[in-house]
Amino acid sequence: MSEPRTAVVTGASSGIGAATARTLAAAGFRVVCAARRTDRIEQLAGEIGGVAVECDVTSRESVAGLADAVGGVLHVLVNNAGGAFGSDPVASADPEDWRAMYDVNVLGTLHVTQALLPALRASGDGLVVNVGSTAGRIAYEGGGGYTAAKHGTQVLTETLRLELCGEPIRVSEIAPGMVRTDEFSLVRFDGDQEKADAIYQGVPDPLVAEDVADAIGWIATRPSHVNIDELVIRPRAQAAQHKVHRV
Ligand code: 8X3
């Protein structure tokens, strides 16, 4: 029997990352679950027969440890670690929030991609999937720091695809809209559950993490010559960033 193909998922401790790790494992990948919270990824890795590696994507040293743990060959990298911090207008936003969002959503993706590119190359059939956002396509009030960062994720992805053209590595971005996860909005609003819940108030069936994971699994299982450049995925109730049906 041939060795299973290997996938790395960052931010695998919850939400889209954890769901993606499960989906890729079900598709036959050996999944390296990377995140800061070791208790969670150890449990997940145990459940899916994968490997847990503690990793803070904003630290190059920590990412070097991830690359060591992965070894010489990698087939799929899902750069999922990211997040939004704060929702203040440009006039009063905290620059530290903006810095933190750029750090994790853009530089984190850069660090991990740089560290794992040699192993992706060595596979002879590599794939990078960056988890962007519809916030990387448009602006909205109070979203300045996050939209700027996710536009950065989008441009990084596009640039990488241009630079790797001719190599056996595909480069994709998935850009989800409204996804109800346990943590995204709670983190954004600094633990304020009421504010977090209000985002999804009355929205019939926002996406859940498994919907996005399912799409990532689809991207990762296309034939090698098929590159899904970008995939925008929203709930039916969200026709555009500001156009949300609520009941
Ligand atoms: C999440 C989508 O609408 O909160 O990446 O910016 S949104």
When pLDDT is cut at 50, 70 and 90, the band that residue 3 belongs to is confident
The answer, yes or no, to whether any atom of ligand 1 lies below 6 A from the CB of 154, is no
> 15-46: per-residue pLDDT in tens?
999 999 999 999 999 999 999 999 999 999 99
Q: How many CB atoms lie within 10 A of CB 156?
A: 21
β-pair partners for 179: 207
> 165-211: per-residue pLDDT in tens?
999 999 999 999 999 999 999 999 999 999 999 999 999 999 999 99
Relative to beta strand 51-54, strand 76-79 is: unpaired
Q: Ligand 1 centre from 133 Cα, in Å?
A: 6
The answer, yes or no, to whether any atom of ligand 1 lies below 6 A from the CB of 244, is no
Q: Give how far Cα 146 sits from Cα of 59, 97, 159, Å.
A: 20, 9, 20
The answer, yes or no, to whether any atom of ligand 1 lies below 6 A from the CB of 135, is yes
Query: What contacts 61, CB < 8 A, 6 or more positions away?
Result: none
Using the structure block, give the residue that is written with the tokens 């939004």: 84
- Supply 246's token pair: 């609520």
> 119-177: per-residue pLDDT in tens?
999 999 999 999 999 999 999 999 999 999 999 999 999 999 999 999 999 999 999 99
Domains along the chain with CATH numbers: 6-244 (3.40.50.720)
- Supply 142's token pair: 């109070």
The answer, yes or no, to whether any atom of ligand 1 lies below 6 A from the CB of 133, is yes
Q: Ligand 1 centre from 134 Cα, in Å?
A: 6
Known catalytic membership, residue 102: no
Q: Ligand 1 centre from 114 Cα, in Å?
A: 26
Separation between Cα atoms, residue 130 and residue 147, nearest integer Å: 15
Cα 181 to chain center, whole Å?
13
Cα 191 to chain center, whole Å?
21
Burial (CB count <10 Å: 0-12, 13-18, 19+), residue 242:
exposed
